[in-house]
């Protein structure tokens, strides 16, 4: 991870940058180049308030169904504070800290584009919170993805903002230095001044797709990592069953032209280079879960890549409403629209969810075959010696099956489930936050499904080599390194033991990338 300060200018934030901020607490700052745009946009808002015209939504009007209610300039601060208080209506368990950090970084980046009419102190306050570890508690449920993620973002804004009364019970909650406390207390301890929001600023902070984008971005990064490790699990399983290499032939896979398929096949070929277990039987063809893995995991890879492109665009998008464009001729330089609508995110989150569910689905099928003596080329039933007294990996496979079934429910496309809100003013919504949250949960499930396959494949390899009276030298160079790294954490199952810790150790090897790094060091 890059640890030098990340400068946000509204244009060049990457998913990799976001992961570094979310996971590794990479410091952030506001780019100097963004300040003139921010200041000019804010100056126009101030001019509008001084003139009293034109009428611009959310600056001198109410919100949503109250868009036609005029608001006097001396009511602006109260309007912004009431917006944040009334919209802090989320429910459910708090979002993970990494999602909150990603959300804060994306929102700061959005405002840095200079279309939102906020003061630079608003952005600098967000960045100070990030750098000093003030993490607002944001309930995970309550957004319909249009007008953006209003409820969750309002809970964030509670912490950074105040009114003249500055009531602690209206300052939200945070985690700060491992302790849950009021937002007011956390900001005091961190030495960060809370701000009184001025005209437009509350709306600029809570109106947009930021939470949806944060969850989706982290899900994309984790999905890409999972796909790499799914190839490792596949290659190890192939060796355990003494499978065939022909489905991974470059010529065969190039005949379709699908980039993801070619990548999966290439990865498996590299992992198996030097293997004397594959192609060592008279079998003509393997089952689809092995033979068609390039087509299935490759298609998932392509879907993940598409999701990456859309999410990368969204984390650099201006998504509040209205937006201010100073190059417009005439008095009214604001334009109302629908950039807060999360349809683009919802659709790719739906696709990402289905793609990752398929990675888990085909992985579980291979685990099932490894655990079945009549499907595994003679490996012991449930991959354990002394079956009967020992149950082996029986329940690990059942857990994988349960997770696969859970994924099928979670993969329902949230975007088709629009429901009208705000007295039918908001009559079509995206459900992008739900879609992103479900996609991320599927990544969580599928990571454990692949972890179980890794354990089963390593167990199968050990049993196969023991039966053959051979050493690890029969394995491919990449799979031998992956097996060795796995065995440093998870010993051979010679008798029944609690398996949950083994599964979580394998998950950690996936999530940290240690398994893929061990394999790459051999190639």
pLDDT in tens, 265-287: 999 999 999 999 999 998 999 99
Domain-ending residue, one of 180, 208, 236: 208
Whole-angstrom distance, CA of residue 299 vs CA of residue 227: 11
Q: How confident is the model at residue 521 (pLDDT cuts 50, 70, 90)?
A: low
Please check whether residues 397 and 313 belong to one and the same domain.
Answer: yes
Q: Which residues contact 447 (CB under 8 A, 6 or more apart)?
A: 222, 226, 507, 510, 511
Which H or E run includes 356? Answer: helix 343-370
Q: Is 288 a catalytic residue?
A: no
Tokens standing for residue 196: 């009184």
Asked, for residue 330, whether it belongs to a domain, the answer is: no
Residue 31 pLDDT more than 70? yes
Q: By residue range, what is the domain housing residue 106?
A: 6-208
Asked, for residue 333, whether it belongs to a domain, the answer is: no
Please check whether residues 41 and 189 belong to one and the same domain.
Answer: yes
Asked, for residue 168, whether it belongs to a domain, the answer is: yes
Asked, for residue 338, whether it belongs to a domain, the answer is: no
Residue 495 pLDDT more than 80? yes
210-240 and 97-111 helices, crossing angle to 10°: 130
Whole-angstrom distance, CA of residue 386 vs CA of residue 496: 10
Whole-angstrom distance, CA of residue 311 vs CA of residue 217: 6
CB 70 within 8 A of CB 56: no
Please check whether residues 413 and 428 belong to one and the same domain.
Answer: yes
Tens digit of pLDDT for each residue in 330-340?
A: 999 999 999 99
Name the residue with higher pLDDT: 393 or 63.
Answer: 393
Torsion region of 386: left, alpha or beta (phi above 0 gives left; psi -120 to 50 gives alpha): left
List 45, 56, 57, 94, catalytic entry: 57
Per DSSP bridges, beta strands 91-94 and 161-162 are: unpaired
Q: Which residues contact 327 (CB under 8 A, 6 or more apart)?
A: none
Residue 27 pLDDT more than 60? yes
Tens digit of pLDDT for each residue in 184-227?
A: 999 999 999 999 999 999 999 999 999 999 999 999 999 999 99
Please check whether residues 392 and 497 belong to one and the same domain.
Answer: yes
Q: Among all chains, which residue has been given the structure tokens 């449920």?
A: 141
Residue 97 pLDDT more than 60? yes
Please check whether residues 186 and 236 belong to one and the same domain.
Answer: no
Q: What's the confidence (pLDDT) of residue 64?
A: 78
Whole-angstrom distance, CA of residue 122 vs CA of residue 399: 47
Residue 502 pLDDT more than 90? yes
Asked, for residue 357, whether it belongs to a domain, the answer is: yes
Tens digit of pLDDT for each residue in 39-94?
A: 999 999 999 999 999 999 999 998 878 888 999 999 999 999 999 999 999 999 99
| For residues 390-407, average pLDDT | 98
Angle subtended at Cα 402 by Cα 397 and Cα 403, rounded to the nearest 5 degrees: 95
Please check whether residues 100 and 219 belong to one and the same domain.
Answer: no
| For residues 133-158, average pLDDT | 96
The sign one gets for the Cα dihedral 85, 107, 434, 397 is negative
Q: What's the confidence (pLDDT) of residue 1?
A: 56
CB 432 within 8 A of CB 209: yes
Asked, for residue 347, whether it belongs to a domain, the answer is: no
| For residues 31-43, average pLDDT | 98
Whole-angstrom distance, CA of residue 396 vs CA of residue 382: 10
* Mean pLDDT of the residues in the chain: 96
Please check whether residues 201 and 175 belong to one and the same domain.
Answer: yes
Please check whether residues 85 and 179 belong to one and the same domain.
Answer: yes
Asked, for residue 410, whether it belongs to a domain, the answer is: yes
The sign one gets for the Cα dihedral 120, 41, 202, 91 is negative
Q: What's the confidence (pLDDT) of residue 2?
A: 65
> For residue 360, how many other CB atoms are within 10 A of its CB?
28
**CATH number, residue 185:** 1.10.275.10
Tokens standing for residue 49: 């308030």
How many alpha carbons lie under 13 Å from residue 241 in its C-beta half-sphere? 30
| pTM for the predicted model, two decimal places | 0.96
CB 94 within 8 A of CB 139: yes
Domain-ending residue, one of 175, 208, 241: 208
Residue 231 pLDDT more than 80? yes
Asked, for residue 416, whether it belongs to a domain, the answer is: yes
Please check whether residues 402 and 505 belong to one and the same domain.
Answer: yes
| For residues 161-179, average pLDDT | 95
Please check whether residues 271 and 401 belong to one and the same domain.
Answer: yes
| For residues 28-41, average pLDDT | 98
Residue 4 pLDDT more than 90? no
Domain-ending residue, one of 191, 208, 225: 208
Q: Which residues contact 174 (CB under 8 A, 6 or more apart)?
A: 134, 135, 136, 137, 159, 180, 181, 182, 183, 186
Burial class, 42, CB count within 10 angstroms (exposed 0-12 / middle 13-18 / buried 19+):
buried
Q: How confident is the model at residue 147 (pLDDT cuts 50, 70, 90)?
A: confident
| For residues 162-174, average pLDDT | 95
Please check whether residues 174 and 229 belong to one and the same domain.
Answer: no
Whole-angstrom distance, CA of residue 489 vs CA of residue 487: 5
Tokens standing for residue 520: 């790459």
CB 302 within 8 A of CB 258: yes
CB 515 within 8 A of CB 229: yes
Please check whether residues 12 and 87 belong to one and the same domain.
Answer: yes
Number of compact structural domains in the chain: 2
Whole-angstrom distance, CA of residue 341 vs CA of residue 344: 8
Q: How confident is the model at residue 456 (pLDDT cuts 50, 70, 90)?
A: very high
Burial class, 26, CB count within 10 angstroms (exposed 0-12 / middle 13-18 / buried 19+):
buried
**CATH number, residue 358:** 1.20.200.10
């Amino acid at each position: 991870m890059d640890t030098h300060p990340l400068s946000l200018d509204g244009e060049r934030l990457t998913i990799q940058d976001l992961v570094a901020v979310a996971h590794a607490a990479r410091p952030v700052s506001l780019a100097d180049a963004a300040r003139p745009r921010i200041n000019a946009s804010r100056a126009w808002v101030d001019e509008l308030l001084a003139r009293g015209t034109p009428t611009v939504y959310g600056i001198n009007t109410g919100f949503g169904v109250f868009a036609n209610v005029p608001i006097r300039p001396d009511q602006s601060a109260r309007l912004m504070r009431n917006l944040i208080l009334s919209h802090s209506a989320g429910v459910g368990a708090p979002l993970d800290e990494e999602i909150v950090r990603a959300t804060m970084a994306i929102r700061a980046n959005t405002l840095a584009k200079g279309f939102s009419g906020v003061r630079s102190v608003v952005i600098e306050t967000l960045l100070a919170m990030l750098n000093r570890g003030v993490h607002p508690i944001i309930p995970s449920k309550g957004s319909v993805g249009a007008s953006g993620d209003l409820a969750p973002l309002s809970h964030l804004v509670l912490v950074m903002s105040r009114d003249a009364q500055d009531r602690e019970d209206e300052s939200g909650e945070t985690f700060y230095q491992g302790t849950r406390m009021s937002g007011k207390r956390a900001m005091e301890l961190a030495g960060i001044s809370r701000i009184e929001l001025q005209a437009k600023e509350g709306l600029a902070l809570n109106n947009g797709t930021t939470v949806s984008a944060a969850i989706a971005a982290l899900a994309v990064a984790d999905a890409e990592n999972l796909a790499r490790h799914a190839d490792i699990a596949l290659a190890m399983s192939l060796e355990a069953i003494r499978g065939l290499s022909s489905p991974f032939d470059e010529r065969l896979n190039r005949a379709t032209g699908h980039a993801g398929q070619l990548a999966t096949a290439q990865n498996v070929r590299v992992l198996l280079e030097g293997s004397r277990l594959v192609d060592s039987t008279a079998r003509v063809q393997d089952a689809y879960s092995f033979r068609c893995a390039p087509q299935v995991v490759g298609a998932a890879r392509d879907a993940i890549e598409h999701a990456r492109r859309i999410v990368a665009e969204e984390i650099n998008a201006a998504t509040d409403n209205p937006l201010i464009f100073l190059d417009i001729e005439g008095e009214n330089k604001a334009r109302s629209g629908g950039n807060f609508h999360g349809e683009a995110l919802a659709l790719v989150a739906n696709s990402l969810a289905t793609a990752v569910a398929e990675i888990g689905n085909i992985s579980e099928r291979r685990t099932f075959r490894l655990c079945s003596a009549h499907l595994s080329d003679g490996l012991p039933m449930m991959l354990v010696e002394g079956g009967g007294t020992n149950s082996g990996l029986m329940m690990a496979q059942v857990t994988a099956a349960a997770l696969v079934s859970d994924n099928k429910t979670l993969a329902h496309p949230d975007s088709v489930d629009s429901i009208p809100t705000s007295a039918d003013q908001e009559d079509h919504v995206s459900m992008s936050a739900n879609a992103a949250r479900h996609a991320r949960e599927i990544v969580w499930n599928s990571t454990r499904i692949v972890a179980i396959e890794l354990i089963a494949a390593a167990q199968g390899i050990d049993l196969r080599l023991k039966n053959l009276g051979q050493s690890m030298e029969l394995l491919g160079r990449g799979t031998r390194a992956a097996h060795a790294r796995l065995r440093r954490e998870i010993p051979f199952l010679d008798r029944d033991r609690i398996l949950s810790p083994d599964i979580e150790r394998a998950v950690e090897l996936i999530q940290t990338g240690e398994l893929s790094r061990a394999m790459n060091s051999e190639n």
